[in-house]
Every structure is written in C-alpha cells, then in structure tokens.
Amino acid sequence: MNINALTKIVGLIGYPIDYTLSPDMHNAAFKELNLNFVYLPFRVKSEDLPLAINGLSALNIVGVNVTIPHKELVMKYLDDLSEEAGMIGAVNTICVQNGKLRGDNTDGKGFVASLREELKVDPAGKKVFILGAGGAARAIGFSLAKLGVKRMTMTDIEMPKAERLSADIKHHFHGLWLDTVGLNDRKFEENVLDCDILINATPCGMHQDDPLLINPDWFSSNQVVYDIIYNPGQTHLLKAAKEKGCLTQNGLGMLIHQGALSFELWTGEKAPIEVMRQAIVESRK
C-alpha cells in the first residue's frame, strides 16, 4: 500500500476496538479496486467523542464507521442524517462531504443480508427475540420490523432502554406485536422457548468469562441463534445452541455486509464482498 498526501482516510471509532477486523477487509477491498484509500482504527473514549467527531473534517477524513459505545450519542454531533439513521436513532457510518458530516446506518441491512445469504433464512412471519437494546439492536429491530416479522420481544440489562426501543419501533410499525421482558422475568424463558430467531445484540460473550445469558435447555433444533459478536468466532451462546441442533451464525456475515455498504457510501464503487470475506478469513488464521 502506497500512502501519500492524496490518500483518502476512512476508519473506525469506538472503545474498545482491539478486536476489530474491519481494517483487514476494507484495506483488502481498496487494494483489489486500486483505490487510494486507507482504513484505520481510532480508539475513542466517550469523553473524547466530541473532539474526535469535530476533527474529522479538519483532518480531511472521508468517513468513519462507528461502533460501541457511540452509535446513539454520536448523532448529536452530525449535520445531517439519512432517513434510515433518523428512524433507527443510531449511526454506524459517517460520510464527510464538503465539510458536512452525514450519518447513516448499514447495520440492519447488513444483518438481514447475512441472515438471508449465510443461513438462507427469511425473517418475514417469524417470532424474534433480541437480547440488547443498544445501537446494533435498534438497527436490527427496525430492519426486521420493515420485513414483516410476526412478533418481536426485547430485553436489556437496562430495561428502560428496551422499553424505549420497543416504543420507537411501535411508533413506525403500528401493527407489529412487540413486547419487552426482563432478564429475571418468568416470561423470559417462555419467550426464548417460543421464538424462531434469537439474536444476541449485546457485547456479552466477547470475553471468556462472560456469563451465558440463555439456559441451554431452552434451545430447540428448529431455532436460529445469531450472535452479532464475531471475535471470538464461537461464543458460549453459539456453542450451546449448536449442541442443541440450532442453526447458528456469528457476526462475521453482518460485519462484511454492513461494511460493504459503508464502503460503497465512501467510495461510490461496488464493494468486492468475496475479497473482503477472504481477507477476514486470512486474518483469523
């Protein structure tokens, strides 16, 4: 890679980001298409977020992805939002154009693309249980609502967040059956047993000593279990679900597809998805 004064910079802001595989896949894509771009990770703590965002334009950075814990908070520092990001209430992609910062969200579309392409699952008409109510859960929830799921249940360690997300989705999709349930509520088990698709949209599982949020006895072989964590590739949740015969998927597919959409927003070029996928496979060896 020949970095020079004309190289366009994109990257990722979040904290922590030591686990990220995004630089591998984006830089491989830039190389494949012979684009003078470079993708860099930027470790940004919450208290430094305003400074980081305000500095993007001054440093001629073309755009950034946004990850935990900034996807919702970052919105207040942007000049404009896409319709998708405004509805969801979270941003995972920022484009810098003529000094203006525009927020977008490719997470939900990336999740759906992964669900359909990797697992061959159509979520329409399905009963869905989402663990977590942060930025990623918001994007996934809205995208699944648009596709016509039958029922959606949400939980979070901070229940007001889950209730707020449920209310926001109801505001846009009046006919959808939505519910919230606490982690210690007796209805929690009932909802896990009855769902078709269970999604972990929390960071729980990134570390070896993280607790298992679901009792493995509640899984059945006709369920889909999707953990948006991609590092490690098999969390405790996915391992337990797989042992019960569930169809399982980690977050690599979502990472690749949402990244491809961000790539296209920044470059105006069609993303070489298979090149991006192979770069991640190679980086994990």
Question: Are residue 118 and residue 243 in the same domain, yes or no?
Answer: yes
Instruction: Tell me, yes or no, whether 29 lies in a domain.
Output: yes
Tokens of 206: 């990134």
Question: Are residue 118 and residue 211 in the same domain, yes or no?
Answer: yes
Q: Using an 8 Å Cβ cutoff, are 41 and 17 in contact?
A: yes
Question: Are residue 246 and residue 117 in the same domain, yes or no?
Answer: yes
Q: Whose structure tokens read 């990001």?
A: 85
Model-level pTM? Answer: 0.90
User: Measuring CA to CA, how many Å separate 188 from each of 137, 184, 192?
Assistant: 18, 7, 6
Question: Are residue 101 and residue 182 in the same domain, yes or no?
Answer: no
Residues 47 and 27: their CA atoms lie apart, in Å, by 29
285 pLDDT above the threshold of 80: no
Question: Are residue 181 and residue 263 in the same domain, yes or no?
Answer: no
Question: Are residue 121 and residue 241 in the same domain, yes or no?
Answer: yes
Residue 217 burial (C-beta neighbours within 10 Å; 0-12, 13-18, 19+)? exposed
Instruction: Tell me, yes or no, whether 148 lies in a domain.
Output: yes
Instruction: Tell me, yes or no, whether 1 lies in a domain.
Output: no
Question: Are residue 87 and residue 118 in the same domain, yes or no?
Answer: no
Q: Is 146 a catalytic residue?
A: no
pLDDT at 169: 96
Instruction: Tell me, yes or no, whether 2 lies in a domain.
Output: no
Instruction: Tell me, yes or no, whether 3 lies in a domain.
Output: no
Return phi, psi of residue 95, to 5°.
-115, 135
Instruction: Tell me, yes or no, whether 42 lies in a domain.
Output: yes
Tokens of 58: 């001054």
Q: What is the pLDDT of residues 222-272, one digit of tens each?
A: 999 999 998 888 999 999 999 999 999 999 999 999 999 999 999 999 999
Residues 228 and 197: their CA atoms lie apart, in Å, by 13
Residue 159: CATH number of its domain: 3.40.50.720
CB neighbour list of residue 83: distance below 8 Å, 6 or more residues apart:
none
Question: Are residue 274 and residue 241 in the same domain, yes or no?
Answer: no
Instruction: Tell me, yes or no, whether 135 lies in a domain.
Output: yes
284 pLDDT above the threshold of 80: no
Question: Are residue 113 and residue 71 in the same domain, yes or no?
Answer: no
Question: Are residue 168 and residue 246 in the same domain, yes or no?
Answer: yes
Instruction: Tell me, yes or no, whether 173 lies in a domain.
Output: yes
Question: Are residue 98 and residue 177 in the same domain, yes or no?
Answer: no
Marked catalytic residue, from 8, 31, 45, 71 = 71
Model confidence at 30, pLDDT cuts 50, 70, 90, reads very high
Residue 41: CATH number of its domain: 3.40.50.10860
Q: What is the pLDDT of residues 51-91, one digit of tens each?
A: 999 999 999 899 999 998 999 999 999 999 999 999 999 99
Q: What is the DSSP string of the chain?
A: ----TTPEEEEEEESS-TT--HHHHHHHHHHHTT--EEEEEEE--GGGHHHHHHHHHHTTEEEEEE-TT-TTGGGGG-SEE-HHHHHHT--SEEEEETTEEEEE--HHHHHHHHHHHHS----TT-EEEEE--SHHHHHHHHHHHHHT-SEEEEE-SSHHHHHHHHHHHHHH-TTSEEEE--TTSHHHHHHHHH-SEEEE-SSTTSSTTPPPSS-GGG--TT-EEEE---SSSS-HHHHHHHHTT-EEE-THHHHHHHHHHHHHHHHSS---HHHHHHHHHHHT-
pLDDT at 95: 98
Strands 197-200 and 177-180: unpaired
**Averaged confidence pLDDT in the chain:** 95
Name the domain count of the chain: 2
**Cβ atoms < 10 Å from Cβ of 73:** 16
Q: Using an 8 Å Cβ cutoff, are 261 and 95 in contact?
A: no
Cα angle value 108/16/165 (rounded, 5°): 35
Q: What is the pLDDT of residues 158-211, one digit of tens each?
A: 999 999 999 999 999 998 999 999 988 989 999 999 999 999 999 999 888 999
1 pLDDT above the threshold of 80: no
pLDDT at 70: 94
Question: Are residue 55 and residue 187 in the same domain, yes or no?
Answer: no
Range of the domain at 26: 8-105+254-283
